[in-house]
Amino acid sequence: MPTPRNPNRTALMLDIETLGRTPGSVIFQIGAIRFDPETFLFEDTTFVEICPESCRCHGLTTDPETIAWWQTRNLDPNTLKGTILPKALDTLTSFITSTPEPENIWCNGTSFDFPLLEAAYRATSKTPPWQYWQQRAQQTQHTNHRSLITNH
């Protein structure tokens, strides 16, 4: 008989798009999903586009190399529109805090998404809605999963 799902176990995945590669860089998109960590079924999502000029008004910066990289993908940072940075972070915070005690918060790599988001929270005098022990790197999970499949 299958074990029933524990409704108190929920995880989140975050992803951002930026105009730089270091903390303090402009963030122009934030996406997040809430999912069941046992079945990996999505439960809810949020997505917000951010006006780069709003980020600059809060002291965030752009990197010419990153802008050039985006331009090779037909994205012109000068045409990006969206909500203001504080409102975008409030949207993310509401999404995260509406999750009862998320077990883990995942991103592609803990050395990129979390530090850049934390810098944006600091720039707007806000507190990130996660604890250090909740941060997980999806890259590690993906590598471990691939290793298990290869070795069995």
The average confidence (pLDDT) of the chain is 86
Determine, yes or no, domain membership for 71.
yes
Tell me, what amino acid is at 116?
A: L
Number of domains the chain contains:
1
Give the predicted TM-score (pTM) of the model: 0.85
Determine, yes or no, domain membership for 5.
no
Determine, yes or no, domain membership for 123.
yes
* CATH number of domain containing 61: 3.30.420.10
Determine, yes or no, domain membership for 4.
no
Query: Is 4 a residue whose pLDDT tops 60?
Result: no
Residue bearing the bigger pLDDT, 139 or 84? 84
Span of 7-21, 43-57, 62-76, 114-128 with lowest mean pLDDT: 7-21
Structural domain of 55: 11-151
Determine, yes or no, domain membership for 35.
yes
Determine, yes or no, domain membership for 100.
yes
Provide the sign of the torsion angle of the four alpha carbons 137, 138, 141, 144, taken in this order.
Answer: negative
Q: How do beta strands 42-49 and 27-35 pair?
A: antiparallel
Residue bearing the bigger pLDDT, 90 or 8? 90
pLDDT attached to residue 1: 45
- Per-residue pLDDT tens over the stretch 50-61: 999 999 999 999
Residue 101, exposed/middle/buried by CB under 10 A (0-12, 13-18, 19+)? exposed
Determine, yes or no, domain membership for 105.
yes
Determine, yes or no, domain membership for 69.
yes
> Helix crossing, 113-123 with 85-97: angle to 10°?
120
